[in-house]
Structure 1
Amino acid sequence: MKRYLIYITIIAIIAGACKKSTLELNDPNNPTPDQSLITEAGLQNFSLGILQKMMANVPDEGKTNIFHIALTNHSIMGDEAYVPYGNYGLRWVDQVYKITLPSGTVITNPNGVDQKTQLKGFDSRDAGERNAFLYEWASCYYIIGQANQLLAALDNPALTLTGDATNKKNIFKAWALWWKGYAYSRIGSMYLAGVITNDVGKTNGDFVDHTAIMAEADKVLTDCLTTLNSVSAGADYNTTMTAIVASFDDNKKIVTTDMWKRQVYSLQARNLLVNKKIPEMTTANWQQIITLTNQGIQATDNVFKFGMDPSGSNDVSLGFYHPYAFIGEVQQFSFVSERLVQEFKANDNRLKKGFVPFSVPKVNERGRGLQFGTRWNPVFIENGGLYATGDNRGTVPWACSYEENALMKAEALIRTGSTELGLQLVDAVRDFQNSGLAHVAGTSLNATQALEEYRRERRVALFLWGTAFYDARRWGVTKPAAQGGGRANAIVIVPGNLLSPPQSGSIPTPCFMEYNYMDYWDVPQNELDFNTPGNINIPLKN
């Protein structure tokens, strides 16, 4: 039986989960429990329904996967994709501050202000769907609220389970802890501060800074590991996992307990890596990354994935809100960035399979900035491509992947003097993705050259998988130019009349891009309107 999220009885079990008509609830931690949680079937559906917490009715936009909007924010701030449209505040999130042409001419974005000024101007309930700060915050706290309710249900003495009840409880517990740890990981990696809440249906005003949120994420993920160590494999495990992983997320490829644990280690490695800038990383930090990734995802592992149902309706993508559907030319809401395509080597099979030229390049779309332009159209997966779909194919990892784990270890090795070992992992990832590229290990590259090979590969291999902004931030790319930020030799499609001397047509031109983005976002005003902070001395706003 397929496990759908919209058209089965789960709606009755999590009543109200899809009726957040304003995204202005003062308590996104309350998932409205039901008596069905005293039955095994009820627990299964409630566990499956954690994904439905990613969906909400957004003012003026209708039912939307708000989690996917958050993923899109990461892609466009990491400049692997762009969105020229104002829906959900996306084009303002994508507001590159200045672009300097080879002549020295500086082009400031049409709004004339930096990203922080623009986004803070929309940080209110009155701004409705334009408040970009809201999406990741709301979806993650909805998930945390549902996870808290699931954990509480496991302690209910009225709960009845068949077979090995203790083992099944531990499976459900691990699932709740995984999603809770994942959600805290995202909150702490994106916002200045957050709230730690373990009580069902309750929040609090005890805001803590993002480092404390990350510590909580690590604690919850460690609890997940401990719980998984108590789970026994077998028919009960397989049956339960098939029930709580959605069919469109590939529930036939069971994530075993060992595979699951390796995902936890990889996520813990990511959490450490992406929340420190390179100058802040110590040798001990890099060694910790190596230790965690040594226990992380392997090339043969199954991982938890975000997919789509062929119907386009019985899933959380709604046939649209998925990285590969959003960028495909059927919807074409997002577009691949020229700055991503320039990372591919010319003979990379992924470039040849993944993209074809548009008949007419897109240039300064809607007059909203030179960053909104590209020559490249992703090829549908169903037509032999890699990064787009017109009929709901393809999956992306919910959290980490083998490639991300290997590349985290590669970076740690290169930065601690083991250049050749790091390059061997870069080669391994390229081979895993059938790039066809010649190996770079054994070619006498120095550490600087090795890091450039790694950097380009990380951008290419993890395209649309949720790491692009984290990397741009920690590498210092998103800092103001005056602080050493920005990107030189970034390819931009420039109208020829802006060049010196003027040229006809639109020309791919190496420019200097100053992004000037916030490192961590404000706590949304929608939260603070209903959750008054207590006696705290940490910043909630930039």
Structure 2
Amino acid sequence: MIALLFSVASCKKELDVKNPNSPTPDQAKTETGIISLATGGVYINGFQNGDSWLGDSYFSLPMGYHELLADDVSAEAANQNVNIVNVPDYVILDNGTKISTSSPQKSNLRINNARNKQSQNMFYYEWTNMYAMNNAINQVLALVDDVHFSGDATTRKNTIKAWCYWWKGYAYAKIGSIYYAGLVNNTPNTLNPNYVNSAAIIAESDKNLSAAAAILGAITSTSDYTTIMGELLPSMSQVGLGTVPTPAMFIHSINTMKARNILANTRVSAMTATQWNAILTLVTNGITSTDKVFTGRTNESDINGWFSAGGGTVASLSAGDPASTTFKISERLVQEFKTGDKRFTNNFASSPYINQVGGFTFSSRWKLYDGIQKQSPLNGAIVLANSTPGAYELYLAGTYEENELMKAEALIYLGQIDLGLASIDLVRNAQGAGLAAVSGTGLTLAAAKEELRRERRVALVFRGTAFYDARRWGVIDDVSKGGGRTNAVVYTAAGVLNTKATINYNFLDYFDVPADEFVLNPPAAGSAAIVNPN
């Protein structure tokens, strides 16, 4: 497994990573050592190592691919193939002109799925991050029972175990939600050639998340739990919503993640009432508006962290003058904002830019404000990007808005339309949108679904769910199979604005297993297919 290529990294209180080989497993046999290993395994092995190609974290490059594929942003630089991976098969402009790509996405991705093309291989990065995290956490679980703890030793040990099972559940959720097949490996530094399909990986995610919830539900010493969580979470993250969650809040995050596992991996057309009710049960005990959640943040000096303020997130790489940003704001994202939405005026401004290198749908009239430049009107709505060190709160997992919108969707599809619309209103109010309520207005089922679709695109931008949505809604499918997007806004390379364009994306829905894994670890007999036939 390629996770074995990464050593377990250090993680001091400020995540000083000058010594990448400490603590060793021997040093991790103390309380402080095992905490350091458990923290570094997540933030360094999982979110930093291997991600310095474009930006400097998991949330800049692997999550950048997600935002590209969801058509939230585009790119023109050739680094890591980011100007190619999201070029649609074709676009039909308002006047009937059809422009097609000469390099279909699926073919391009597979040409680059080779060990000698690692830097250009989109399949490589997320797999590497999540299995590196999983392996490091496996090591913590193998050591923790032999560590002597102070205070209430059982609570302290179980808090670390809950942390481990949460992050293992997270890693498996990420793998199962983006790869066609994966590996279940719960022993440190071992090779497993038995590939299983994505559904089995999601089942393993749920198993680990349930294990974490069971431990948290039995915590007896809140003070010892809080002490250990305060050491596991990087101190710079413990601001705003990133302070230590109570055990109940932690369980809420688990339930939101389990609900996402169902939603993200089931086509809307295939969802059953049983699944909608399962989601509703989970989100009813999911993240609330006052819960603390898992976040990332730099410190005010922007040093000794696991990502940088200016390069560690998709938001920071998208903010500013589009002539100099890595990612450019998509016209299709902007068209989702309703007239009068204060979130739009607080974050976007006119700045036409013709993309000279990227795809034929990549040019845009818009830029994203960067809070550091102090250009936003600060009208009370949410701020999407701020590269001021210490100012930006990066969401690592679920949020209140995601939980509430999953509740809205479940209610709408179960026939409780107005209750679902009320949840959409709650999210808009929480983000300062300033829009009139849609609940109580008598919207039809079709209109309610459209409100939900647009709101997820707007409220959850840069939070890692947009590609899952595009896939489950069928937007990325070939037009011949009911996919694509109509009435799309497209700003052409000639500076011509189209508002009724048809885009045929025809993207791969789940990634193939990367060559750096299957070449070094060939599938054993009986393994699931590792290449997506779609």
Residue 4 (structure 1) aligned to one of 11, 14, 24 = 14
Alignment deviations for residues 492-533 of structure 1 (CA, whole Å, 9 cap, x no partner): 11244xxxxxxxx43254311111111100000110111121
Match of 2:31 among 27, 36, 40: 40
Q: Is 1:351 paired with 2:348?
A: no
| Counterpart among 133, 158, 172 of residue 143 in structure 1 | 133
Kindly indicate whether the alpha-carbon contact (under 8 Å) linking 2:363 and 2:493 is maintained by their aligned counterparts in 1.
no
Normalized against structure 2, the TM-score is what? 0.91
Residue in 1 aligned with 2:167?
Answer: 179
* TM-score normalised by the chain length of structure 1: 0.90
| Aligned partners of 2:479 and 2:506 also within 8 Å | yes
Q: Does 1:250 align with 2:259?
A: no
Residue 312 of structure 2 is matched in structure 1 by 321
Q: 2:22 aligns with which of 13, 17, 28?
A: 13
Asked whether the equivalents of residues 83 and 94 of structure 1 are also in contact (C-alpha less than 8 Å), the reply is: no
Aligned residue runs from structure 1 range 99-114, under 5 A: 99-109=91-101, 112-114=102-104
**C-alpha deviations, 1:168-226, integer Å up to 9, x for none?**
00010011111100000010000010010111111210100001001111101000101
Deviation at 1:489, TM superposition (A): 1.0
Deviation by residue 1:56-109 (Cα, 9 ceiling, x = unmatched): 3569x4994245311111111111112222212222222221111112211113
Residue 82 of structure 1 pairs with residue 70 of structure 2: no
After TM superposition, the structure 1 = structure 2 runs for residues 409-428 of structure 1, keeping only pairs within 5 Å, are 409-428=407-426
Alpha-carbon displacement from aligned partner over 1:298-331 (angstroms, at most 9, x marks no partner): 0110100122233333222234121221112286
Q: 1:432 to 1:58 in 2, by over 3 A?
A: closer
Aligned to 1:270: 260
1:72 maps to amino acid:
G
Shift of 1:406: 0.5
Deviation at 1:335, TM superposition (A): 1.8
Distance 1:355 1:329, change over 3 A: same
- Of 196, 203, 208, the residue aligned with 2:196 is 208
1:99-498 paired onto structure 2 within 5 Å: 99-109=91-101, 112-156=102-146, 159-250=147-238, 253-319=243-309, 320-329=311-320, 332-358=325-351, 361-363=352-354, 365-382=355-372, 383=374, 384=376, 386-392=383-389, 393-496=391-494
Alignment correspondent of 1:525: 515
AA matched with 2:326: F
Determine the structure 2 residue equivalent to 1:28. Answer: none
How far the C-alpha of 1:433 sits from its partner, in A, is 0.6
Compared CA separation, residues 52 and 279, structure 1 to 2 (3 A): same
Distance 1:149 1:70, change over 3 A: same
AA aligned to 2:513 is V
Residues in 2 aligned to 1:534 and 1:170: alpha-carbon distance in whole angstroms: 35
Question: 2: distance between equivalents of 1:428 and 1:150?
Answer: 40
Q: How many residues align?
A: 507
Distance in 2 between the 1:270 and 1:233 partners?
A: 30
Give the letter aligned to residue 463 of structure 2.
W
8 A contact 1:487–1:514 mirrored in 2: yes
**Contact persistence 1:225–1:261 (CA under 8 A):** yes
SS class of match (2:177): helix
Change over 3 Å in CA distance of 1:489–1:117 after alignment to 2: same
Change (3 A) 1:179 1:327: same
Shift of 1:391: 2.1
SS of 2:489's equivalent in the other structure is: strand
Structure 1 residue ranges without an equivalent (≥5): 15-32, 497-504
Output the CA distance in 1 between the equivalents of 2:73 and 2:120.
Answer: 19
Cα separation, partners in 2 of 1:142 and 1:291, compared to 1, 3 Å:
same
Contact 1:426–1:457 (8 Å) recurs in 2? yes
Question: Would the alpha carbon gap of residues 67 and 453 (structure 1) be closer, same or farther in structure 2, given more than 3 Å must change?
Answer: closer
1:56 pairs with one of 28, 49, 61? 49
SS at match of 1:511: strand
Q: Structure 1 residues 176, 224: closer, same or farther in 2, change over 3 A?
A: same
Counterpart-to-counterpart distance in 2, 1:63 and 1:404: 25
Report if aligned partners of 1:191, 1:523 keep a CA contact under 8 Å in 2: yes
SS of residue paired to 2:492: strand
